Structure 1
């Protein structure tokens, strides 16, 4: 007599394995978080002057706000005008291609705005621009 061997085969239920899809989703999420540029805000709203030649800046910017009462805002905090250079140098390491945009209130003192722009230039930023609103017709 011949003995037959029967192997027990456990039949798996057919289904879709979602593990590779989840891996791809997490990799994409990490990619978008790392490559996204976060918008830095100055931390205060100012009443910008209007200009017909105002143009939008598309690159990553370092925003500095100068209020009508003489406060200088950078990275959502009030800073002394003498420390603007150090703050800009630190932020410039995070965004080497960024330009400095000074958002001066239309009633801000011109001397203070010039000091802020000078401190940004001393930090090694060649492009320091003033923000303005487009004139409404």
Structure 2
């Protein structure tokens, strides 16, 4: 007696169009909805006096490093502002007070006297900058 073989001819349901429609609806509702600022609504509803602080600084990410350029004529620039050595010391002191792990990159022109570079490095040491880097060029890149 021959065995009856049952074939499972059920077709699989294609869910791709339904997923497309769901994503389109999500995008539509995200674009068309109006988001409100919850904190401002809550601040109006609840009468709380927030304490006032005299020294409230902005929450910003600390800069990775500051750049000190020493030009061939001996001028010193912190980032892009030309400064004297006392001004440099003052600005670095303020920056280090704000960001304890502040890094400094010293970029001296090849023609500048080393005395000027040493003066800038001494200023950084006086301010207690511990992350001090000196920028140099690779010999291969200079010859190209």
Q: TM-score range by the shorter chain?
A: 0.5 to 0.7
Larger radius of gyration: 2
Matched, 1:114 2:129: no
Higher RCO, 1 or 2 (CA under 8 Å, sep at least 6)? 1
Match in the other structure for 1:9: none
Task: Answer 1 or 2: which has greater helix percent.
Answer: 2
Q: Is the 8 A contact 2:69 2:79 kept in 1?
A: no
Q: Give the CA deviation at 1:36.
A: 5.2
Alignment length (residue pairs): 93
Match in the other structure for 2:84: 80
Cα RMSD, aligned residues only: 2.8
Match in the other structure for 1:101: 105
Q: Is the 8 A contact 1:62 1:91 kept in 2?
A: no
If the length of structure 1 is used for normalisation, what is the TM-score?
0.56
What secondary structure sits across from 1:90 in the alignment?
helix
Match in the other structure for 1:61: 65
Aligned mates of 2:68, 2:33 — CA distance in 1: 47
Aligned mates of 2:123, 2:75 — CA distance in 1: 15
- What are the Cα deviations for residues 56-90 of structure 1, in whole angstroms up to 9, with x where unaligned? xxxx1111110000000013211112332111111
Which consecutive unaligned segments of at least 5 residues does structure 2 have? 1-27, 38-58
Matched, 1:18 2:36: no
If the length of structure 2 is used for normalisation, what is the TM-score?
0.54
Match in the other structure for 1:53: none
What secondary structure sits across from 2:140 in the alignment?
coil
Aligned mates of 2:85, 2:60 — CA distance in 1: 32
> Structure 1 residues 124 and 107, CA, compared in 2 at 3 Å: closer, same or farther?
same
Matched, 1:136 2:137: no
Q: Give the CA deviation at 1:121.
A: 0.9
